[in-house]
Amino acid sequence: MIRSLRGMNDILSEDYERFTYFLQTASRIAQHYGHHYIETPLLEETALFKRSVGESSDIVGKEMYQFTDKGGNDVCLRPEGTAGVVRAFIQNKLDRKGGIHRFFYHGPMFRYERPQKGRLREFHQFGVESFGVSSVYEDAAMIMMVSDILNELGIGYRLQLNSLGCQECMPPYRKKLISFLQAAEEHICEDCIRRKSTNPIRVLDCKNGSCQEKYIDAPKLIDHLCENCAADFATLQKILKDNDIEFEIDTHLVRGLDYYSKTAFEFVSDNIGSQSAIAGGGRYDRLVEFLDGRATPAVGFAIGIERLLELIKMPEAGLEGYYMGAMDKEAIPTIIKTAQSKRHSDRVVVEYEPKGLKAHLKNADRIKARYCVVVGENELKENTLWVKDLQEKKELVIPADEFQEI
């Protein structure tokens, strides 16, 4: 038997209901914040991710589904959504047009990671990106939007916040951190030694406990922010407090993608095991320029949909729509015609096999239909429909032409 690839799952039945409910809720909220849907390809040139997510990141260094296509192009399945949206933004000359452009998207992402609970090789993100706003109020709007989505779905969270500084304050901080790491070199892991020269701030979120002990005394970027970054970080905290959004400052939160500056944040859940990050994002003011566009401030986030599924509290599902069946073969065309007359406004499920009343009622119950409509010999003769309202528990026989009224 052919099975799906490791870390790649089917989404069926109950999970699918949660999945679509999540997408409807998140899309509605993103639209309320002024965002428009954007769809970008699953496959992009590998260079796009190398230049944005960064060559020193694990995502690009170890986890890409990368191959040469039949035309000899170096391509890969997208590991995340931001890079593609930025490419589309530049390719469609929106950077030259100026103004504010707000997008949201959802779809599969691919990372060749070691699969475990909450960590898949094909997973789905819901993402939001905003271009053209440098004000930290937009960073706050991003965080409030994630918070609104999680609250509406009944999901508890902890919000972790950090500032990664800008071009002015990051380089001198990096120098300080490198000298600290040089002094600690004998006590840190090989990954950290390598990162010291490729991307030193990434050492701060090393998962190795003994490295973490060493980094307790490492210099902290939030103590070295320039005036502008420090003021924005203070404003951000004030807006969040004013809007009753609790947060923790985590000075070791650096994110696994290289394009961030200033605000970085992660939403974590304590109820889903070790893969606890349910959403992450931040500001990436230099990325548009980095991908050859006109310098444009930008900020965004993405939510990992699979990690949320078991946490979503679904609203009580009521009975909905119609189930229709025939008791005799001759009644089937009538059932099909009657069903068609309702489908423009309601869910209608038709059973094509003639069955007894009891069997039809059982089916209607199973699919949670509000009405069970059945046509047998008598109804056919008299041009009527037998209808049971499964909510009010009432049975009635109505003339076929009155069906639109129920």
For ligand HAM, the binding residue among 125, 160, 162, 163 (CB under 6 A) is 125
Task: Name the β-bridge partners of 130.
Answer: 102, 299
Instruction: Work out how close the CB of 157 gets to ligand HAM at its nearest, in angstroms, rounded to a whole number.
Output: 11
Counting contacts by CB under 6 A, is residue 82 touching ligand HAM? yes
Q: Which is nearer to ligand HAM, 110 or 371 (CB)?
A: 110
The two structure tokens encoding residue 87 = 């490419």
Counting contacts by CB under 6 A, is residue 84 touching ligand HAM? no
Instruction: Work out how close the CB of 82 gets to ligand HAM at its nearest, in angstroms, rounded to a whole number.
Output: 4
Counting contacts by CB under 6 A, is residue 146 touching ligand HAM? no
Instruction: Work out how close the CB of 219 gets to ligand HAM at its nearest, in angstroms, rounded to a whole number.
Output: 25
- Distance (Å, rounded) from C-alpha 114 to C-alpha 375? 55
Q: Which is nearer to ligand HAM, 268 or 335 (CB)?
A: 268
Q: Which is nearer to ligand HAM, 195 or 360 (CB)?
A: 195
Binding footprint of ligand HAM, residue count (CB under 6 A): 25
Q: Going residue by residue from 209 to 248, which x/- string records binding to ligand HAM, judged by CB under 6 A? A: ----------------------------------------
- Within 252-271, the residues that bind ligand HAM by CB under 6 A are 256-257
Q: Which is nearer to ligand HAM, 90 or 279 (CB)?
A: 279
Instruction: Work out how close the CB of 141 gets to ligand HAM at its nearest, in angstroms, rounded to a whole number.
Output: 13
* Torsion sign over Cα 175, 177, 180, 184: negative
For residue 269, the SS3 value is coil
Query: What is the identity of the amino acid at 209?
Result: G
Q: Which is nearer to ligand HAM, 15 or 389 (CB)?
A: 15
Other beta carbons within 10 Å of 86: 26
Query: What is the identity of the amino acid at 165?
Result: G
Q: How many CA atoms lie within 13 A of 321 on its CB side?
A: 19
Query: 192-199 long-range contacts, Cβ below 8 Å, gap at least 24?
Result: 195/56, 198/55, 198/56, 199/54, 199/56, 199/57, 199/258
- Distance (Å, rounded) from C-alpha 67 to C-alpha 74? 6
Q: What angle do CA 218, 222, 224 make, to 5 degrees?
A: 80
Q: Going residue by residue from 271 to 290, which x/- string records binding to ligand HAM, judged by CB under 6 A? A: ------xxxxxx--------
Asked if residue 59 lies in contact with residue 49, where contact means CB atoms within 8 angstroms, the answer is: yes
Asked if residue 118 lies in contact with residue 306, where contact means CB atoms within 8 angstroms, the answer is: yes
Instruction: Work out how close the CB of 377 gets to ligand HAM at its nearest, in angstroms, rounded to a whole number.
Output: 56
Strand ranges of the sheet holding 371-375, from the earlier edge strand across to the other edge:
348-350, 322-326, 371-375, 384-389, 394-399
Counting contacts by CB under 6 A, is residue 130 touching ligand HAM? no
Counting contacts by CB under 6 A, is residue 119 touching ligand HAM? yes
Instruction: Work out how close the CB of 379 gets to ligand HAM at its nearest, in angstroms, rounded to a whole number.
Output: 52
Counting contacts by CB under 6 A, is residue 106 touching ligand HAM? no
Instruction: Work out how close the CB of 189 gets to ligand HAM at its nearest, in angstroms, rounded to a whole number.
Output: 22
For ligand HAM, the binding residue among 26, 60, 76, 120 (CB under 6 A) is 120
How remote is the C-alpha of 344 from its chain's centroid? 31
Residue ranges that bind ligand HAM, judged by CB under 6 A: 80-82, 111, 113, 119-120, 123, 125, 127, 129, 256-257, 277-282, 300-302, 304, 306-307
